[in-house]
Amino acid sequence: MQLRMFVSLILIVLALAGASRVAVRAAQTPDLISGDWDALFKVGEHTSPASFKLKLDGDKVTGTAESAHTGPGTIRDGSWIGGKLSFTLDFKTHESIAITGKLQETKLVGEFTTEGFTSTWEATKKKPQQ
């Protein structure tokens, strides 16, 4: 009986130690996604500028986007999992845009799909104003 209690106590201590290590590791992971981004969408031979305001909460991405072509929009179904970004931009006056991407050095890069075609995009994080 005492042996069973001792083993149970050891297992509980080990479980708590493992959980605290995971929490510490998660707290130490820098949030490289949240912030304001200047984006460029490649459309044919041209680029179309836009801006993103992204917020990372765990693996969920929320925020907004805006361009002269689309007007203001919001992020739906946003995620940042395993270093991969995915979300849909919804607009009042433009078809939704499906976005996928990843962090490549200091830029976000990836593909987007809208209006029946797929192309590439990239974004550079704006420097914080002082």
* Angle 48-87-106 from CA coordinates, rounded to 5°: 65
* Per-residue model confidence (pLDDT) at position 10: 74
* Per-residue model confidence (pLDDT) at position 86: 98
* Per-residue model confidence (pLDDT) at position 128: 77
- CATH level 3 topology of 35-125: Lipocalin (2.40.128)
Residues facing residue 72 across a β-bridge: 66
Residues facing residue 102 across a β-bridge: 84, 109
Do 55 and 64 form a contact (C-beta atoms < 8 A)?
Answer: no
Rounded distance between C-alpha atoms, residue 120 and residue 45, angstroms: 12
Task: Report DSSP state, residue 128.
Answer: P
Rounded distance between C-alpha atoms, residue 72 and residue 125, angstroms: 19
Cα distances (Å, whole numbers) of residue 46 to 40, 42, 101: 10, 6, 20
Where exactly are the structural domains of the chain? 1-30, 35-125
* pLDDT 10s digits, 99-130: 999 999 999 999 999 999 999 999 999 987 76
pLDDT band at 2 (very low <50, low <70, confident <90, very high): low
Rounded distance between C-alpha atoms, residue 14 and residue 10, angstroms: 6
* pLDDT 10s digits, 7-65: 666 767 666 666 555 444 455 678 999 999 999 999 999 999 999 999 999 999 999 99
